[in-house]
Structure 1
């Protein structure tokens, strides 16, 4: 896995940003999480850059609300631990806090079916871990499964998956909503993919944990 570096960039949100195959996706202003009550993707204080090998062909960013996350951490944990703890990550995973993952395609040969397969497998594995080994492919497929394979993905195409209040997971492909599923398990499994015991990138998770510590 690639390493992660930190830069200053967001006041009200903690984005996680990837650059893959040497292509860096710079943060853009005005990214909104629909129905979340406020914009949560406008960078102003801390940014965590993450390099991952998600199929080697996608760049992702995670946006959330630092102020709400800070309040949540303090109410659940109190004082800052000496180092990032499992409890800290679990607060973010279990919460109803608005969070959005913005995936930017950087490889023109990537198809919708490839994206769906990769995502469904990862989400399915996360659900299995949270349910003690029980599979739920039907639930996992509800997120990207409704996106038509005929959708043409080109370099720069954007997919946004947002956890909204009320444990609703919404998926948008190139600004068009393709699914909106209300499920606490699905929302938890989705964030668990990034902050759980077996994250996509361990270094990235540790750096994200350090940014959580700074919120105290």
Structure 2
């Protein structure tokens, strides 16, 4: 996770004033509810994934987060917009990136970069394909997405804890 530290610092200092001893639920909630730019970079390490597999698993997690923040109401259509119209046939090789950014204005932008490397006797090439897969303006979607990483049941507890420590260091 990457964030605009100066804007996070301004947000935290305006709402809290002085640093808590450890990250709190309220601290994380402020970040979830804010409009500060945050980028999550997903690096594919498993070589047999396809976009359809990522779309399915990601959609389930994001769908649950939307439901939680939306008073128990599902919105699968909104959750499915994150992976946009990317072809289900795209194979993600090890090292491929999916970068999802919450941009100011509550815009969630998904970019994909497929890295293909062929090694031969002398030949080696890299093909980097960076394209915007989707761009969706929705406060609920942005909050639900960041909630997946900083909420009560984060996808990666260690990443949440490290992010929390970095938040406190901004004070």
What TM-score bracket applies, with the shorter chain setting the length? 0.7 to 0.9
Q: Calculate the TM-score normalised by the size of structure 1.
A: 0.69
User: Paired residue for 1:167?
Assistant: 106
User: Paired residue for 2:122?
Assistant: none
Report which of the two structures shows the higher radius of gyration computed on alpha carbons: 2
Tell me which of 10, 22, 29 is aligned to 1:83: 22
User: Are residues 1:127 and 2:66 paired?
Assistant: yes
User: Are residues 1:191 and 2:122 paired?
Assistant: no
User: Paired residue for 1:182?
Assistant: 137
User: Are residues 1:202 and 2:157 paired?
Assistant: yes
Contact 1:116 1:145 in 2 (8 A): no
User: Paired residue for 1:40?
Assistant: none
CA distance in structure 2 between the aligned counterparts of 1:202 and 1:115, rounded to whole angstroms: 20
The residue correspondences of 1:92-111 to structure 2 (distance < 5 A) are 92-111=31-50
Post-superposition shift, 1:172? Answer: 1.0
Post-superposition shift, 1:63? Answer: 0.9
CA distance in structure 1 between the aligned counterparts of 2:95 and 2:165, rounded to whole angstroms: 30
Post-superposition shift, 1:157? Answer: 1.3
CA distance in structure 2 between the aligned counterparts of 1:129 and 1:107, rounded to whole angstroms: 30
CA distance in structure 2 between the aligned counterparts of 1:170 and 1:81, rounded to whole angstroms: 32
CA distance in structure 2 between the aligned counterparts of 1:113 and 1:78, rounded to whole angstroms: 45
Post-superposition shift, 1:145? Answer: 4.0
CA distance in structure 2 between the aligned counterparts of 1:179 and 1:127, rounded to whole angstroms: 18
The residue correspondences of 1:1-216 to structure 2 (distance < 5 A) are 62-174=1-113, 175-216=130-171
CA distance in structure 1 between the aligned counterparts of 2:159 and 2:91, rounded to whole angstroms: 30
User: Paired residue for 2:123?
Assistant: none
CA distance in structure 1 between the aligned counterparts of 2:40 and 2:4, rounded to whole angstroms: 13
Contact 2:81 2:134 in 1 (8 A): yes
Post-superposition shift, 1:74? Answer: 0.4
CA distance in structure 2 between the aligned counterparts of 1:180 and 1:205, rounded to whole angstroms: 25
Post-superposition shift, 1:206? Answer: 2.6
Contact 1:123 1:189 in 2 (8 A): yes
> Whose relative contact order is higher, 1 or 2, with alpha carbons under 8 Å and at least 6 apart?
2
RMSD value, Cα: 1.2
- Say which structure is richer in helix: 2
CA distance in structure 2 between the aligned counterparts of 1:205 and 1:149, rounded to whole angstroms: 30
What are the superposed Cα offsets for residues 17-38 of structure 1, whole Å, 9 maximum, x if unpaired? xxxxxxxxxxxxxxxxxxxxxx
